[in-house]
């Protein structure tokens, strides 16, 4: 793939990518974090090796045009641009893979990568109190924020929740297909109850492709967020206060409407 032309440095454009277990999605964000057009998407390769996934991403984003930097949400543990785990992609070659370096060599652009649920959370939170974000898709993603500060990543999806089933196995897409929508909703309700008891969050944001299937009444402090937050949250990976020291965790930020205590 040829180098992508840069846009104006005074108003950088951000290529935002959401890597999921079932689909890859991407859009270019303007400096305010607004998508310049509808997100493009393609099915995640199977098997989803690093090489196959990168090839699919390069083809996916080619029609999107210019960008100056890239933000990527990845379904697993990410540190300093390298992948530690990728449970929903089910390919051992991700372990230790330098995804930021691999794409940076092709695009010749700075790249920042964060867990996909963390990116989704950044696209939803207000930066007030203790906020939690989960994603319901191929598996369950989890992120926690304290006054806008992202906590160290916890791979909750791999933890047992009930009868030796992990959260991924309990409310992931395979479980939805196995037990049906009605019983799956009961499971999701139980998970929300567990998280509220264990975390005592102020607000829980629920996103991901299967969040739209929730059909029970949610508590007042639980909110469904658009799946697009997994893309638009990518703008916050470039908060100017981070400088060049991005290592996979987020500092506080001033979200719209947030006021500092006097």
pLDDT tens digits for range 128-162? 999 999 999 999 999 999 999 999 889 999 999 99
234 pLDDT more than 50: yes
Is 84 part of any domain?
yes
- Average the pLDDT over each of 51-65, 78-92, 94-108 and give the range with the smallest value: 78-92
Q: What percent of the chain has pLDDT over 70?
A: 87
Instruction: Examine the domain organization and report whether 82 and 162 are in the same domain.
Output: no
Q: In the predicted model, what is the mean pLDDT of the chain?
A: 90
Same domain for 192 and 104: no
Q: Which tokens go with 95? A: 């372990």
What does the pLDDT average to over 71-99? 94
Residues 62-87, mean pLDDT to the nearest whole number: 95
Phi, psi angle pair for 22, to nearest 5°: -115, -30
The residue segments making up the domain with residue 112 are 14-119+229-242
Does one domain contain both 40 and 88? yes
Give 18 or 248, the one with higher predicted confidence: 18
Q: Please report whether residue 261 resides in a domain.
A: no
Q: Are residues 34 and 49 in the same domain?
A: yes
Q: Is the pLDDT of residue 117 over 80?
A: yes
pTM equals: 0.88
Per residue in 189-231, pLDDT (tens digit) is 999 999 999 999 999 999 999 999 999 999 999 999 999 999 9
CA distance 188 to 191: 5
Q: Is residue 250 part of a domain?
A: no
- Domain assignment present for 3: no
Q: Are 139 and 218 found together in one domain?
A: yes
* Same domain as 110, residue 170: no
Antiparallel, parallel or unpaired: β 69-74 and 111-115:
parallel
Q: Is 72 within the bounds of a domain?
A: yes
- Place 239 in a pLDDT band, splitting at 50, 70 and 90: confident
Is 75 inside a domain boundary?
yes
148 and 93 co-located in one domain: no
Identify the band that residue 163 occupies on the pLDDT scale cut at 50, 70 and 90.
Answer: confident
Which burial class, exposed, middle or buried, applies to 179 when counting CB atoms under 10 A from its CB (0-12, 13-18, 19+)? middle
Pair of tokens at residue 157: 């999806």
Do residues 114 and 233 both lie within one domain?
yes
Domain for residue 253, yes or no?
Answer: no
- 242 vs 155 pLDDT, higher one: 155
86-90, 97-101, 180-184: lowest mean pLDDT where? 86-90
d(CA 17, CA 72): 5
User: How many C-beta neighbours within 10 Å does residue 162 have?
Assistant: 13
Domain assignment present for residue 215? The answer is yes
Residue 149, domain CATH: 3.30.420.40
């Amino acid at each position: 793939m040829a180098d992508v032309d840069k846009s104006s440095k005074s108003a950088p454009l951000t290529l935002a990518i959401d890597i999921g277990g079932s689909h890859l999605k991407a859009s270019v964000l303007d400096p305010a974090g607004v998508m310049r057009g509808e997100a493009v998407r393609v099915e995640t390769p199977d098997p989803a090796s690093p090489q196959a996934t990168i090839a699919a991403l390069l083809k996916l984003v080619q029609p999107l045009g210019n960008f100056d930097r890239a933000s990527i949400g990845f379904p697993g543990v990410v540190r300093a641009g390298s992948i530690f785990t990728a449970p929903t992609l089910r390919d051992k070659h991700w372990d230790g893979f330098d995804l930021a370096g691999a794409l940076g060599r092709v695009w010749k652009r700075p790249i920042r990568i964060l867990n996909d649920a963390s990116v989704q959370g950044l696209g939803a939170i207000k930066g007030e109190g203790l906020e939690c974000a989960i994603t319901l898709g191929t598996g369950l993603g989890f992120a926690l924020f304290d006054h806008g500060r992202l906590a160290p990543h916890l791979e909750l999806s791999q933890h047992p929740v009930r009868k030796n089933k992990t959260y991924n196995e309990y409310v992931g897409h395979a479980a939805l297909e196995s037990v049906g929508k009605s019983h799956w909703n009961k499971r999701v309700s139980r998970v929300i109850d567990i998280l509220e008891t264990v975390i005592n969050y102020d607000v829980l944001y629920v996103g991901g492709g299967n969040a739209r299937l929730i059909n029970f009444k949610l508590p007042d402090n639980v909110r469904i967020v658009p799946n697009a937050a997994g893309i638009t949250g990518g703008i916050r990976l470039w908060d100017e206060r981070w400088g060049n020291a991005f290592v996979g965790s987020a500092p506080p930020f001033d979200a719209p409407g947030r006021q500092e205590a006097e």
